[in-house]
Amino acid sequence: MSTKSKSIKSKTDFNQDERLKKVSNLKILLNRPELGALGGAILVFIFFGIVAGDTGMFSAYGILNFLDVSANLGIIAIAAAMLMIGGEFDLSIGSMIGFAGICIAIPAIYWGWPLWMSIIFAFSMAVLVGYFNGILVVRTGLPSFIVTLAMLFILRGATLALTRLITGRTQVPGLRVLIENDPIAWIFATDSFKWVFTWLGSMNLIALRTDGTPLATGIPPSVIWFIALAILTTWILMKTRYGNWIFASGGDKNGANNVGVPVGRVKISLFIGTAVAATIFATIQVLDAGSADTMRGTLKELEAIAAAVVGGCLLTGGYGSAIGAAFGAIIFGTVSMGIFYTDVDTDWFKVFLGAMMLIAVIFNNYIRRKVTESK
Amino acid sequence: MSDYLVQFNNISKFFGKVIALKDVTMKLRKGEIMCLLGDNGAGKSTLIKTLAGVHKPDEGEIIFEGEKIVFDSPKDALDIGIATVYQDLALVPLMSVTRNFFMGREPLKGPPFLKTFDIEKANKIAAERMGQIGIDVRDPSQAVGTMSGGERQCLAISRAIYFGAKVLVLDEPTSALGVHQASVVLKYIVKAASQGLAVILITHNVHHAYPVGNSFTVLNRGKSLGTYEKKDISREKLLSMMAGGEELDKLEVELKEMNRISS
């Protein structure tokens, strides 16, 4: 034994292999998953800056407008991205939005619950739906694509059927009057930094209404939620143990299991995350519109996944970033609003969305090959 | 009191009517490398999973440091220090060296409830540990996917040792590697053993096993064909035992026959 160990003292160094190239810092930066989305967002802003720079798109009101749309999509896109990094899909996000809206509106309007209780009820239902999705996927080992596709139909159908059963119609209006003095609703319904806009208005720096109040009244709640979620999720992914477990669960669930990562629990928590994000989206929209609609959120799950993919998430899991999904959402939101300011027919938006996603997938695929191939 | 670190005595495992393992006995001292040889279907995977605590043996006992133990889960085996490095290595190619090294066992810092993954410390340890085995990780945040097969194997072994392995079970560590890479991994295994670990090296490659092993157990169709000290057995004898010697002999005769007819 001892003679053998002596004979192997000579140190072997893999990296003295002459075929190895030095990796430059630029290349490391290029390997970041969100780079494509960041570049895309910058391109989009440059494009609209040139094409629509003088149309009011970049006035305070215009900016808040497209930021609001981006932020709404971003809230669910970030959660979808977290789940995709964890190796799963959730196609029931859109249906969950409709369901959550009804969960707020029916108790508040028809059962006389205080609004805050209805909101808590909706979030509780979201946790249940997310948990159910998660446990089904984890326990059965079926692809989440199928399980949540089933949930897409079940939730949308249940939303429609229950609403018509209880209310006799498919829309529930009348929520706006309940928002005032509610201890929770303001979190989802109040514009922030109003004083900034009032001041800007008084200085005549931003457009005013005829009564002298500024056209843009404050930062919409969606934007605040969006920024907070983007920061929180990025911190989780980069800086916490749970974040490492998310990457590990999506990257190789058997391997992760073998070294002690509770893969099942991680995935279930991420499914709860998408359902809760859908409910945040729904609460903001329902309180903003003052009514709940059974069809609200239709196809939003696909937009969320598209934004996550543009943001650098791989469909196979284990790779991606929350901040990338946020940029992806900003791209879609900006284009969907910006297109109104140009001469282009808005019908072309979907074409853009599809093309953007295709380019992103090809780009991501290339990046993945670069990252994983042995050098 | 025996001087064996770990003993697997008369281990048997049945799946319904199928006898996957029958009366397999292995004993290891500290610093010893036992090579477990066997062809495909010999029961190697079942034995590994039994060692790792995935399967409970239906018969036989495991004695670790003189005490009889029963594993209820892989975690039990890991906790007492029997670490298994599977063929898939439990490495995620898209994740960094550091994140892989500490996967599932991340060092934490900060106040309670706000504990964060101590990346700086993790990077330092990972780079240090990889450096010790001669792999200079320029940047521990580089993806494992950029490493060679041998480097990955060494990373997985190094990780098991760092987290307190006393018995290292290695499943085909050299099977996917070229000659040079395989020799690097084998050197590292010998080095690990010389530091006091007991190593069970599972392989079907006698040429890799023979130079590094202290003893050899040959498995055939679920049964052990015996354990031999290195001085008692030759490479050729091992080879013919594990392949089911007669079969190869028969093949040789048949080939000769064919050549005779065609010529």
pLDDT band at A372 (very low <50, low <70, confident <90, very high): low
ipTM score of the complex? 0.80
The CA–CA distances, whole Å, from B73 to B12, B52, B53, B68, B76 equal: 18, 8, 5, 16, 5
More confident residue, B241 or A179: A179
- Cα–Cα dist A111/B117, whole Å: 46
What are the residue boundaries of the structural domains of chain A, listed by start?
Answer: 57-190+222-368
Quick one: pLDDT at residue A28?
59
| Chain B residues inside the 8 Å CB shell of A247 | 92, 94-95, 99
More confident residue, B41 or A335: A335
pLDDT band at B245 (very low <50, low <70, confident <90, very high): low
Count of residues making up chain B: 263
How would you label A66-98 residue by residue, b for 16+ Cβ within 10 Å and e otherwise? bbbbbbbbbbbbbbbbbbbbbbbbbbbbbbbbb
pLDDT band at A10 (very low <50, low <70, confident <90, very high): very low
Quick one: pLDDT at residue A26?
60
Which of A5, A248, A373 has the CB atom closest to B95's CB atom? A248
**B260–chain A Cβ distance below 8 A for any pair:** no
* Local structure of residue A321 (DSSP, 8 states): -
| Chain A residues inside the 8 Å CB shell of B194 | 1-2, 4-5
Residue owning tokens 């028809």: A110
pLDDT band at B244 (very low <50, low <70, confident <90, very high): low
- Report, as an integer, the average pLDDT of A324-346: 90
The answer to whether the Cβ–Cβ distance between A247 and B92 falls below 8 Å is: yes
Quick one: pLDDT at residue B246?
64
- Cα–Cα dist B201/B241, whole Å: 17
The answer to whether the Cβ–Cβ distance between A244 and B103 falls below 8 Å is: yes
The CA–CA distances, whole Å, from A41 to A37, A307, A342 equal: 6, 12, 18
Q: Are A75 and A277 in contact (CB under 8 A)?
A: yes
* Local structure of residue A214 (DSSP, 8 states): B
Å between A310 CA and nearest CA of chain B: 18
How would you label A287-325 residue by residue, b for 16+ Cβ within 10 Å and e otherwise? bbebbbbbebbeebbebbbbbbbbbbbbbebbbbbbbbb
**Best mutation target, A16, A19, A31, A244, to test chain B (most B CBs within 10 A):** A244
Quick one: pLDDT at residue B243?
67
Instruction: Write the pLDDT tens digit of every residue in B136-188.
Output: 777 788 888 888 888 888 999 999 999 888 999 998 888 878 888 888 889 98
Which of B75, B117, B146 has the CB atom closest to A260's CB atom? B75
The CA–CA distances, whole Å, from A194 to A62, A189, A198, A205 equal: 16, 13, 6, 14
Quick one: pLDDT at residue B1?
44
More confident residue, A350 or A147: A147
More confident residue, B6 or A14: B6
Q: Does position A21 have pLDDT exceeding 70, yes or no? A: no
- Report, as an integer, the average pLDDT of A210-226: 88
Quick one: pLDDT at residue A15?
42
- Report, as an integer, the average pLDDT of B84-100: 88
Q: Does position B263 have pLDDT exceeding 80, yes or no? A: no
| Chain A residues inside the 8 Å CB shell of B148 | 14, 374
- Cα–Cα dist B74/A117, whole Å: 45
Nearest chain B residue to A367, by CA? B94
For strands B198-203 and B167-171, give the pairing.
parallel
Quick one: pLDDT at residue A322?
95
Residues 87-126 of B with CB under 8 A from A: 88-95, 99, 102-106, 108, 115-117, 119
- Report, as an integer, the average pLDDT of A98-121: 95
Quick one: pLDDT at residue A353?
83
- Cα–Cα dist A161/A366, whole Å: 45
Instruction: Write the pLDDT tens digit of every residue in B39-52.
Output: 777 788 888 888 88
Degrees, nearest 5: CA angle A266-A267-A268: 95
Residues 190-209 of B with CB under 8 A from A: 190-191, 193-194
The answer to whether the Cβ–Cβ distance between A239 and B105 falls below 8 Å is: no
Q: Does position B68 have pLDDT exceeding 60, yes or no? A: yes
- Helix, strand, coil distribution of chain A in percent, nearest 5: 70, 5, 25
| Chain A residues inside the 8 Å CB shell of B187 | 8, 12
Instruction: Write the pLDDT tens digit of every residue in A264-311.
Output: 999 999 999 999 999 999 999 999 999 999 999 999 999 999 999 999
DSSP string for A21-75: PPPPHHHHHHTSTTHHHHHHHHHHHHHHHHHSTTTTTTSHHHHHHHHHHHHHHHH
**A143–chain B Cβ distance below 8 A for any pair:** no
CATH no. of A57-190+222-368: 1.10.3470
Quick one: pLDDT at residue A373?
61
Q: Does position A29 have pLDDT exceeding 70, yes or no? A: no
Quick one: pLDDT at residue A11?
39
Which of A13, A243, A261 has the CB atom closest to B104's CB atom? A261
H or E stretch at A330 = helix A322-338
Q: Are A34 and A327 in contact (CB under 8 A)?
A: yes
Instruction: Write the pLDDT tens digit of every residue in A220-276.
Output: 999 999 999 999 999 999 999 999 999 999 999 988 988 888 999 999 999 999 999
Q: Does position A4 have pLDDT exceeding 70, yes or no? A: no
The CA–CA distances, whole Å, from A212 to A199, A368, B90, B105, B159 equal: 12, 54, 64, 60, 67
Secondary structure (3-state) at A173: strand
- Cα–Cα dist B177/B157, whole Å: 15
Which residues are CB-neighbours of B37 under 8 A, at least 6 positions away?
Answer: B203, B204, B206, B209, B216, B217, B218, B219, B238, B241, B242
**A244–chain B Cβ distance below 8 A for any pair:** yes
Q: Are B69 and B62 in contact (CB under 8 A)?
A: yes
Quick one: pLDDT at residue A25?
60
Count of residues making up chain A: 375
Q: Does position A90 have pLDDT exceeding 50, yes or no? A: yes
The answer to whether the Cβ–Cβ distance between B92 and A248 falls below 8 Å is: yes
Quick one: pLDDT at residue A198?
85
For strands B108-109 and B116-117, give the pairing.
antiparallel
**Best mutation target, A232, A235, A238, A252, to test chain B (most B CBs within 10 A):** A252
Secondary structure (3-state) at A292: strand
Q: Does position A180 have pLDDT exceeding 90, yes or no? A: no
Highest-confidence segment of A62-66, A210-214, B226-230: A62-66
Say what the pTM is. 0.85
Q: Where are the beta strands (DSSP E) in chain A?
A: 171-173, 291-293
What is the pLDDT of chain B when averaged over all its residues?
85
Å between A319 CA and nearest CA of chain B: 7
Å between B32 CA and nearest CA of chain A: 8
Q: What percent of chain B has pLDDT over 70?
A: 97
CB pairs under 8 A between A and B: 125
- Report, as an integer, the average pLDDT of B92-116: 89
| Chain B residues inside the 8 Å CB shell of A31 | 143
Q: Are A268 and A138 in contact (CB under 8 A)?
A: yes
- Domains defined for chain B, CATH in brackets: 6-93+159-262 (3.40.50.300), 95-142 (no CATH)
- Cα–Cα dist B78/B72, whole Å: 11
Q: Of B10, B16, B26, whose CA–CA distance to B59 is shortest?
A: B10
